Each structure stands twice: as structure tokens, then as C-alpha cells.
Amino acid sequence: MKNGTDKVETLGELKKTKYVSRNIKDEIRDNLIVKLQSGEPVFEGVLGYESTVFPEVERALLSRHNINFLGLRGQAKTRMARQLVNLLDAYMPAIKGSPIHDDPLRPISKYGRDMVAEHGDKTPIEWIERSERYTEKLATPDVSVADLIGDADPIKAANLKLDYSDERVIHFGLIPRSHRGIFVINELPDLQPRIQVALFNILQEGDIQIRGFKLRLPLDVMFVFTANPEDYTNRGAIITPLKDRIQSQILTHYPKNTSVSSAITQQEARLTKEQGERVEIPKLVSDLIEQIAVEARSSEYIDQKSGVSARLTISAYESLVSSVERRVLINGEQKGKARIGDLTGILPAITGKVELVYEGEQEGAKNVAINLMGKAIRTSFAQFFPDPELAKKRKTEPNPYQKIIDWFGRHELELLSDLNENDYREKLDEVPGLEKIVLHYNPKVKGEEKYLLMEFVLHGLAEYSLLSKNILEDGLSFADLFSSVFSADDFDSDSA
């Protein structure tokens, strides 16, 4: 059924129904009101905007505004724009064959007017599904006025034997073909200023101009734009007169906390069924990935105007799962849990997702990524264990980490990436005092979680400069900080 009109095939039959022509923005407004009154969500799969962005979008739609989503990359701007299609009626009647989906009751094109004039109530109609009323265009410097608005088509003129002054030779562009629908332009500042000028009349008056034709088409289009604030300075700008005609500019943002960020990552990560069965990611490791993104968004090595997309944590999570899966497959195990050391496997996912400033380029992408992981570990460490720096300074109480530090004065520990679970545990059990400190400050942990925290202690002490940590080709090694420094000095002096 198409709202009770599935058997309606002509204009005359349509007139006998309860169908009433509506402006696209009125249609969206009416359907939004129904959703709000019923408590049905307007947007699905977009997390963290419930009390910030969504209310602003809903107010803009109730006001029948064109919208510009302004925000850094990876902030769900396009996803929200695409979901606006759900606010359209399931089906819409149009004059059959019309290139711009003419309203049978209010045709605006010459084709539509001629069809009604010729056939009257027998004018054939078709039903357009809501998804066909959505058009999206990525703004690039090569986009032309003809692409968006239209142009005279010499082939059509020749085939129909028409003069170029005849309106029927016009080939309509994307915007006229979006009549009675939603038209989205992504990355609006990338559109050349002269092309942006062509949008003035459409936004203000709803009409278009094509070359020298005496043409007025009162188009009915809901416009949605997306833009990155950085584009205002780097690649272009939204020219002021056009910006003035976009009634609502809505600012998007990154997740306000790691719990929301983690929920987004879990939702968007593309994992196979086998990965879900073989691999378990403890909350600690999952939170560390989210904390890496938090650290990146304040790092002096990363261009903050470019932003750090949510795609970083999604790619990193997928890489982490694959790192564990690879170890499980190599060792012939049935299941495996992520370890702190597995974070080295996500380096490629980080280096490819951040834009570095000059200092970051000097440091090197890999070193910047390692630095971010270290900061994430250091930030999270205090949630489980006492601050090593404060513990070191207290003279009245023994340092809870001293026994561990002393052991590394005489030993080195290698945790290779492909260690099976038994060997991994045996390695951690070699360090005296490691299990004791974990159980003292986290008495409820046991089994695999205990060993994860034991490894976490080593990483934390390394980030607080109480141990040294080196990334090997096939894993990590931990050693006494000072012996590591002296051996490096010896190597430098020998090289000299």
C-alpha cells in the first residue's frame, strides 16, 4: 500500500483521494511532529548528540530552515543528513515521465504543464519512494553550474528538431531534479565562489536561471550543507551572501566522554562472526583506544583544526581485534583476550588518521603515535593504581613499586606479541611483587584480568619513567631505566 493510493494511476483518481500537495519543508515538519509526539527517535545510530545537536536540528526543521552542519571530520554530519529522508512520506505522486517529479496538482515544468493540458484527469502518475527523493553531491572544484542547475542539450535539440530558444532543449541539473526532495552538498566551502553564487536565487526565491532562457521554476527543495571549519581558511569559504541565506548553522562535536566514544566504536567496527567468537577485548584495553583519541585531540604534534575523526578509534579497534586473532590462529588457540602490548598493532591505524603539524613531522608519525599511546596509559593508570611519582616522593611510606623496580635492576623481561597464554602468564609471574600490587589495589580481579593488570603495571611504570620500555620487531621489552640509558650511551660512544 502507498498510503491507501496504490491503485491510483491517473490525476483524476488522485483528486478523489485525500491527497493534499505540501511544501517539502511542511512535509518534513509534519512528520517530525508525529515522531516527537510519539517519542520515536529522529536519528538512529548517531550517539552523543541527544542533548546537544539533535534538539538544534529538530528546532531548525520545525522552523522549516535550510541547514548547514558545521564540524570537523568524522562527526556524523553526512549520516544525519542522510537520515532526514526518513522524515519524508513513504511515497509521493508525480506526473509520469517528468524529469523533476512534477506535482500532479501543481506542475511547474513545461513537460508537466503540457501533460496536464493534453490529458487532463487522465494524466498518468507514478509513485516515488522516499529514498528516490534524496540527492547528495560532494562539492569539488570541478563542479559546474551545468552540473547543479542545468544547460541546453544540443543532442536533445537535434533529436526533437527544436530551436535553442525552446525550453524543452534544457537538460536539468541535480538541483531541479531534486524538486520536492532533499538536496545535500557535502564540503560546501570546496565549491567555487561563482558556483555558490548560482545558489542564491534558489535558496531565496526558489527559482533557477539557465543561460538565456526566460525560465522561472519555483523549485521546492530542502537544502542541507556540510562543512569543515578548517575549510574556511585552507581550501575556501562559504561566501557571505550564501551563508546569510542558510537559516540554521548547527555545530557538531566529538564525543564528550570515552564511554560515548567507545559505544560509537563498538557500533561501527566491522568485525566478522569468527572474530567475535575468537577475540575478547577487555574494557581496559578498549578504553585505552578511546583515550588515545582524546590525547590526540589535544596533542601539540597534531593539527587540531583538521580534527581527529572517530574513524581513528574504529580502525584502531579493528586492528586490535585482528592482532589478537592472528596470535590465536598462530598458537592454535580457540579464544584470546587483548593485552596492553597488542596496542602496538594499532600504530598503522593511528598514523594514517592524523594530520601532523611541523613539530609532529619532525618527530615522525610513528613516534607521535607511540607518544599518544603512552599518554593514554599514563592517564588511565591512576584509575587502578597509586600515582608512581607521588609514591616515590613519600618518605614516610614505602614505595609500593620498589620491589618491582629493584628486580628490573638485575633482569629484563620480554613480552613477545605471539606468546601463547601460558607463556604470557609465566613471563609476568617472573616479576616479584607484580601480582601482589595488583591484588592489593584491585582485590576483586582474578584470572585473565589479573594478568592484564600485571602487564598494565609495567606499562604504567615505564610511562612514569621508572622502567624503560622498548618496542621490538616482535614485541616489547622492559628493563631498568638507568641501565638502558647507560647501554645507549655506551653504544653512542662506541659509534663515535
Whether residues 28 and 164 fall in one domain: yes
The DSSP bridge partners found for residue 479 are: 468
* C-alpha to C-alpha distance for 74 and 31, rounded to whole angstroms: 28
* C-alpha to C-alpha distance for 25 and 31, rounded to whole angstroms: 10
DSSP 3: T
Whether residues 78 and 162 fall in one domain: yes
- Asked if residue 384 has pLDDT above 60, the reply is yes
* C-alpha to C-alpha distance for 483 and 468, rounded to whole angstroms: 9
Whether residues 244 and 300 fall in one domain: no
355 lies in some domain: yes
Helix (H) or strand (E) holding 284: helix 283-296
- Asked if residue 182 has pLDDT above 90, the reply is yes
Query: By percentage, how much of the chain surpasses pLDDT 70?
Result: 91
Work out the pLDDT band at 494, boundaries 50, 70, 90.
very low
- Asked if residue 379 has pLDDT above 90, the reply is yes
Work out the pLDDT band at 151, boundaries 50, 70, 90.
confident
- Asked if residue 20 has pLDDT above 60, the reply is yes
403 lies in some domain: yes
Work out the pLDDT band at 325, boundaries 50, 70, 90.
very high
Which range marks the domain in which residue 70 is found?
11-251
The residue out of 363, 381, 399 marking a domain boundary is 381
Whether residues 239 and 298 fall in one domain: no
Segment 166-190 mean pLDDT: 88
184 lies in some domain: yes
* Span 286-299, pLDDT tens digits: 999 999 999 999 99
Segment 417-429 mean pLDDT: 94
The pLDDT score that the predictor gives to residue 495 is: 43
If we measure between CA atoms, which residue out of 264, 438, 439, 272 comes closest to residue 340? 438
The pLDDT score that the predictor gives to residue 207 is: 66
Cell of 71: 564540524
Segment 309-332 mean pLDDT: 94
Work out the pLDDT band at 490, boundaries 50, 70, 90.
very low
Please give the C-alpha separations between residue 296 and each of 187, 225, 360, 401, in angstroms, as whole numbers: 24, 27, 12, 29
* Span 245-279, pLDDT tens digits: 899 999 999 999 889 999 999 999 999 999 999 99
Verdict on whether the full-model pTM lies above 0.85: no
4 lies in some domain: no
Work out the pLDDT band at 165, boundaries 50, 70, 90.
low
Whether residues 128 and 233 fall in one domain: yes
Work out the pLDDT band at 493, boundaries 50, 70, 90.
very low
Ordered alpha helix ranges (H), 46-88: 53-62, 77-83
* C-alpha to C-alpha distance for 366 and 372, rounded to whole angstroms: 10
The pLDDT score that the predictor gives to residue 61 is: 97
402 lies in some domain: yes
Domain of residue 262, CATH code: 1.10.8.80
Total domains, the chain: 3
Whether residues 312 and 331 fall in one domain: yes
Residue 150, CA atoms < 13 Å, CB-side half-sphere: 25
Whether residues 311 and 449 fall in one domain: no
DSSP 129: E
Whether residues 245 and 360 fall in one domain: no
Whether residues 377 and 394 fall in one domain: no
Q: What rounded mean pLDDT belongs to the chain? A: 88
DSSP 399: -
Whether residues 96 and 198 fall in one domain: yes
Domain of residue 128, CATH code: 3.40.50.300
3 lies in some domain: no
Residue 160's contacts (CB-CB under 8 Å, 6 or more residues apart) are: 168, 169
- Asked if residue 488 has pLDDT above 60, the reply is no
Whether residues 55 and 144 fall in one domain: yes
- Asked if residue 111 has pLDDT above 80, the reply is yes
Work out the pLDDT band at 157, boundaries 50, 70, 90.
low
1 lies in some domain: no
Cell of 58: 529538530
The residue out of 322, 356, 381 marking a domain boundary is 381
The pLDDT score that the predictor gives to residue 231 is: 54
Whether residues 152 and 88 fall in one domain: yes
Under a CB-based contact definition with an 8 Å cutoff, are residues 166 and 193 in contact? Answer: no
- Asked if residue 148 has pLDDT above 80, the reply is yes
Ordered alpha helix ranges (H), 397-446: 402-408, 421-429, 434-441
274 lies in some domain: yes
The residue out of 251, 277, 298 marking a domain boundary is 251
- Asked if residue 309 has pLDDT above 90, the reply is no
